[in-house]
Amino acid sequence: MTRKLFGTDGVRGRANSWPMTADLALRLGAAAGRYFRRDGSSAHRVVIGKDTRLSGYMLENALTAGLTSTGMNVLLLGPVPTPAVGYLTRSMRADLGVMISASHNPHQDNGIKFFGPDGFKLSDAAEAEIEAMVEGEITPAKPENIGRAKRIEDGRGRYQEFVKTSFPNGLRLDGLKVVIDCANGAAYKAAPEVLWELGAEVIPVGVSPNGTNINDRCGSTHIDTAATAVVTHGAHVGISLDGDADRVMILDEAGRVADGDQIMALLAARWAEEGRLAGGALVATVMSNLGLERFLNARGLGLERTAVGDRYVVERMREGGFNLGGEQSGHIVMTDYATTGDGLIAGLQFLAEMVRTGQPASTLTRSFDTVPQLLKNVRFAEGMRPLEAARVQEVIAANEARMAGKGRILIRKSGTEPLIRVMAECEDEGLLLTVVDEIVGAVEAAV
């Protein structure tokens, strides 16, 4: 079944423009409610969380109206990280979890992500069924069966206590000065409080959300802010989250950034030593650096690659029984702890290694030498299909032939933004630059 609304991470778009309108959110809520109430019983509930975007109020109310119209009881969590919704969906025995967030995107965008009763994101098939219901007639509940809505005041606190259980018993963060950049997003209260409660000296950044400053020159996609804070305050380490706190970047004491590949390498090696790396392999996407693959192979460990998107990483992890995976962009999925990427838990695992080994962040963030990799984006207008242009395909084919045996090229349409992403990897940096620039030039000409 073809999906039009759902992308790689829920429904996403510009606020107050299709599909991120109040009207569509209401229908989407009603369709999701009807999907999860097909047995006709009344004991159904849904938890809804959101980040700090101004449009979150509008979408939260619209979703609540749609869900209650089909008899779902709604529990409103307020601003909480995306992984908190996954956790609380299971913990509160809900049938459905909803997160209102566009993750690392600017405040003008928003999105709606669904979690099943097991706390994992819905499958493609389930999303396709819900989408089909949106386009059809949705039977409302009888007047006496309309759902209720209730605000849950301690949802964030419940999540914070859960997160602390992921930190090893007997360890504390005493003596560590930690910069935490919350991107003016969903973790602006939870992350600093957890770090402080574990004993760290906390320097908070990006903790003053106003509805329009989420991810604005801060967070995991704008690491200069956290890097400056690390150097200015003489911090031992920096942790930079994105707007919904499901991804993380680590900064060493000099402000140098380590992406998800380096974090996964550190954790995979440690877990393998402890005999707790399930399946003897790590699951990552096609974007992960070749250096990560070489690092793992040298230790007798495998690398399972998937399509881009943390949902596909999680699907492969569940299929193969793996417990560690993620993306170069900073989604780190540890199914021993969480059902989705959790930037705060990943950050705590890194801090635990600092405490356990006594080594500085600069050592722990350099597990392997990266193969030169270059990524450039080309924005395109709605409805355009630049990758189908004959000239673009010719240029791609020519450069793939040029790179044969020397590196690799990956070209894809973003699942969350109107972007064509052109990535190449090669030891020859001159060839790398030439190949990417030629393909980017062809795509730009097409758009």
Asked if residue 118 has pLDDT above 60, the reply is yes
Distance CA 425, CA 406 (A): 9
Q: CA quadruple 63, 67, 69, 75: dihedral positive or negative?
A: negative
**Which whole number is the average pLDDT over 182-211?**
98
- pLDDT level of residue 384 (50, 70, 90 thresholds): confident
Structure tokens at 408: 């690799």
Q: What pLDDT digit, counting tens, does each position of 26-67 carry?
A: 999 999 999 998 655 566 999 999 999 999 999 999 999 999
Answer yes or no: is pLDDT of 258 > 80: yes
414 is an active site residue: no
Q: Output the six-digit token pair for 125.
A: 């098939």
Average pLDDT, rounded, for the chain: 95
What token pair was written down for 119?
Answer: 């706390």
Predicted pLDDT at 418 = 87
Does residue 3 have a pLDDT over 90? no
The answer to which of 81-95, 195-209, 333-347, 376-390 has the lowest mean pLDDT is: 376-390
Residue 146, number of CB atoms within 10 A of its CB: 14
Average pLDDT over residues 324-331: 96
What is the rounded CA–CA span in Å between residue 252 and residue 366?
10
Q: How many CB atoms lie within 10 A of CB 339?
A: 23
- CA-CA-CA-CA dihedral for 136, 138, 139, 140, to nearest 10: -160
pLDDT over 90 at 198, yes or no? yes
CA 423 vs. chain centroid, Å, equals 20
Q: Is the pLDDT of residue 380 over 60?
A: yes
pLDDT at 40: 56
Domains, the chain, ranges and CATH? 6-154 (3.40.120.10), 174-256 (3.40.120.10), 260-364 (3.40.120.10), 373-446 (3.30.310.50)
Report the amino acid identity of residue 354. M
Using a pLDDT cut of 70, give the percent of the chain over it. Answer: 98
**What integer pLDDT is reported at residue 106 of this predicted model?**
96
pLDDT of residue 39: 58
Predicted pLDDT at 348: 98
Across the range 185-201, mean pLDDT stands at: 98
Place of tokens 């993306």: 327
Neighbours of 372 (CB within 10 A): 18
Q: Check residues 447 and 148 and name the one with the higher pLDDT.
A: 148
Is the pTM here over 0.75, yes or no?
Answer: yes
Percent of the chain whose predicted confidence (pLDDT) is above 90: 91
**pLDDT at position 379, please?**
93
pLDDT digits (tens, 9 = 90+) for 333-351: 999 999 999 999 999 999 9
Distance CA 58, CA 100 (A): 10
* pLDDT band of 152, cuts 50, 70, 90: very high
User: Which of 103, 166, 288, 329 does the annotation list as catalytic?
Assistant: 103
pLDDT for residue 4: 81
C-alpha dist (Å) from residue 136 to 13, 31, 37, 139: 22, 9, 16, 10
Cα–Cα distances (Å) from 300 to 268, 273, 276, 303, in that order, read 11, 11, 14, 10
Mean pLDDT of 423-447: 94
Rg (CA), the chain: 22
pLDDT in tens, 58-107: 999 999 999 999 999 999 999 999 999 999 999 999 999 999 999 999 99
